[in-house]
Amino acid sequence: MRKHKIVTTEDILLKLCQSVSGVLTSATASPVTYSAMVQKISKTSLKPDFGCFVLFDGGFSGLVVINFTAKAALELYTKYMRNMGMPEDELAVSHTSDEVGDVLGELMNQLVGDFTNKIRKELQTHITQNQPKMLALNKQVVLSVDTNLDRPQARRVTFSTENNHIFYLELAMDKTEFIQLEEFEIEDDCPDSIFEQTQQQMRNKSENSNKSASEHAASEADDLLDQLGL
């Protein structure tokens, strides 16, 4: 009798860790690694200096929280923007800047998107995510999952940046198992492709913005010439 493959909560957590590491490494062009050890925790919480969270629902429900120190948040933001070609003198210098929050929110959106894509392909189920939320914090905030979890489980994993700045990933979800009944092929997507798509979208947005500004300036110049009778 053939033994069926079983995917547990820890296997799902590993897929999430791989998405976080893969997307952030590609986005910042620097290694972002995670610990081989995972910690069981009783509840998830947002902690200083910068907390991000996103809820997901569908085949299973849960919550992803990432808590950054100020140094880790700034390092990821700075390297991401440099990789996007942003001049050094235009970069934010404080983790509380809106730009840092926007970038971390975009990165979290990318990595959770990569995770949900993995789940769809590898577990043959579908989950959706809400828009990531970011908060600059100076004290710990306990965050509970606003969804129906019969047997909630929570895990924490430590991540490190290239400069050895630490941040933490926390996952809360219902205890579940996926059992593979038949063999199937899995399409392999690279996080680089997600980053390249994001880069192209930002370039197009910048080009459209510059084009609109140029057209507006040209229109104002034409109006001035008309007024002068030239």
State residue 146's pLDDT score. Answer: 54
Q: Which pLDDT value is given to residue 196?
A: 61
**DSSP symbols for 148-197:** --SSEEEEEEEEE-TT--EEEEEEEEE---EEE-S--------HHHHHHH
Query: Cβ-count burial of 151 within 10 angstroms (0-12 exposed, 13-18 middle, 19+ buried)?
Result: exposed
- The per-residue pLDDT for 89 is 86
Closest CA to 157 of 179, 176, 172: 172
Q: Does domain 6-179 have CATH number 3.40.1550.10?
A: yes
Instruction: Look up residue 49 and give its DSSP letter.
Output: S
In whole angstroms, what is the distance from residue 227 CA to residue 206 CA? Answer: 32
| pLDDT value for 174 | 85
State the number of CA atoms in the 13 A half-sphere of 201 facing the CB: 8
User: What's the pLDDT score for residue 60?
Assistant: 87
Mean pLDDT by 10-residue block, N- to C-terminus, for the chain (230 residues)? Answer: 77 95 96 96 88 89 92 95 90 87 91 92 89 82 63 92 96 88 68 58 60 59 56
Does the bond joining 49 to the residue before it have cis omega, within 30 degrees of 0? yes
Q: What is the pLDDT of residue 190?
A: 53
Domain spans of the chain, in order of start:
6-179, 190-229
User: Would you give the distance in Å from CA 96 to the centre of its chain?
Assistant: 18
Query: What pTM, to 2 d.p., does this model score?
Result: 0.76
Angle, CA 33 vertex, CA 27 and CA 38 arms, to 5°:
130
